[in-house]
A and B are shown apart, each in its own frame.
Chain A
């Protein structure tokens, strides 16, 4: 019998809410099956089983928020556990499942919110009161304050007859179609990045890279392909970084308990921005062993799921390095903040035509700035520079990727 625990999906996670139980007691469990979904600050994460067996029992009801490490379910893993007596202390005996009634995230001052205090039903003033030159304005205190802050003359405000003016009616705060910024996501980013800047002695390097060959390769590859089979430059750069890491393993792995453990596999975390605010960097597993088409398919799948706010637990916890690309509409250069417990982040600025020297003559080339932020506890600038140059070299021979 083994317990299936609320996983830690990164250093910044303390608790999660079980939102889906995808199997019922008695169902067979296979390693890698998604058996539950957990709501965290980063969205809904699918949790996979780590071993084969039979799901015996759910220990936590749906909708319950529990700390990391809490057993969520028991899984019977085979012969050896048949006679195992129920160890009473093993499974928390209905230990009050920390039933925090899902604490509301602190509401930033600025969010448009429902007015909590309806205006007391004052004396009804007929909408068209003939004797009142300036009819009494029905406005909530918060709206009045906001209007004052914004320098708006109250006399210019109007509400439908019988309605009260709320904050949402104040110009400049008109309701938009955008959802409010996901403050949970911001809190998660804040926690991880603060820890990074507190603990990790970053150093930074930058290198101008000619992207002409890689771009031409992508164009040539896509020429006869239908849209669903096309490559993006991002897949080529991902592979170029992953391959360079094979020779520079000190940038690929995790730093925990005062020591660095390199990873044999490269699970490249792709920084993906979320519409409406926020960022996640889920892993592209085994980046270095996949061909470009497979990688591209995986990237599409990952981006699609990130946009839908749903990814797997391992994708969040197992990335061994992060790659952050500014894409086509960004700026020249970015210096990343390392995502602990990783030890490096590679950045790629927006490629654009720039004068470079080719064969002794100035020529317009598609170029991009490659940057590295790395952990000085693990590596030095010398090796970092060699690592960046190895990425550059790989990008000059894209057909070998």
Chain B
């Protein structure tokens, strides 16, 4: 899985949840929930979708490593090799 693939998948899943947000208007290093205006239910939906798509568990204890777009992409990359 290339860097590009992960970013594309993440962008797609975010778009499903927050179709009104243009990724170009967001800061990939800033708080993901703020940037995409997502609540805990949206975030759980995102984690569920990513976990299914990439075959990952994404335990709740790791949520702190998923705070921004970049952090989450890095987290996914590290686990999909």
Contacts and interface: CB of A to CB of B under 8 A. Distances in A.
A234 interface: yes
Interface in A199-249: 219, 222-223, 226-228, 230, 232-234
A276 interface: yes
Interface residues of A, number: 23
- Which has the most chain A C-beta neighbours within 10 Å: B34, B59, B61? B59
B51 A303 contact: no
User: Which size bracket describes the interface of B in this complex?
Assistant: 20 to 34
B79 interface: no
B60 interface: yes
Contacts of A303: 41
A230 B19 CA distance: 24
Interface string B30-64: 00011001011100110110011000011111000
A366 B15 CA distance: 32
A329 B60 contact: no
A219 B60 CA distance: 8
Contacts of A234: 40-41
Contacts of A304: 45
Contacts of B48: 227-228
A230 B45 CA distance: 10
Contacts of B27: none
B15 to A, nearest CB: 10
B20 A179 contact: yes
B20 A177 contact: yes
Contacts of A222: 60
Interface of B: 18-22, 33-34, 37, 39-41, 44-45, 47-48, 51-52, 57-61
- Give the top 5 A-B pairs by smallest Cβ distance, nearest first: A227-B48, A327-B39, A227-B47, A227-B51, A222-B60
